[in-house]
Amino acid sequence: MTLTVGEFFDQLPGRLRAETAAGLERTLQWQLTDLDPGVWAVEIKGGQGRVIPGGVPEPDTTFTTTSEIWLAIAEGRQDAMKAFMAGKMKVEGDMTLALKVPELFDTES
């Protein structure tokens, strides 16, 4: 099932694995270059996630890509590392946190 970007971010807090996120207080941000507005942040605190449309001034990690690439990654149709290595996605900030994203969220809808 293909989600819209809005649907993806609406569902994201429910996909957070509380046991993996326990003790983590970080903010992830997505900047989708083909959308306006195209910025969403997810604050992880107390084992829970909260979506912040429009983003935050100083996220811990920022992913910059297109909505098409990000949804393909989120749905398992595109490998995030391959997208990064091919220059289809940029990552800024805490790279350790970026690498942990697949462990933090369930991929099944």
Q: How confident is the model at residue 108 (pLDDT cuts 50, 70, 90)?
A: low
Question: For 22-55, what is each residue's pLDDT tens digit?
Answer: 999 999 999 999 987 799 999 999 999 999 999 9
pTM for the structure as a whole: 0.91
- pLDDT value, residue 38: 92
Taken in order of first residue, the domains within the chain and their CATH numbers are: 5-102 (3.30.1050.10)
- Give the containing element (helix H, strand E) for 43: strand 39-45
C-alpha 68/C-alpha 83 separation (Å) is 12
Residue 66 CB coordination number (10 Å): 16
- Give the orientation angle of helix 67-74 with respect to helix 5-15, to 10 degrees: 40
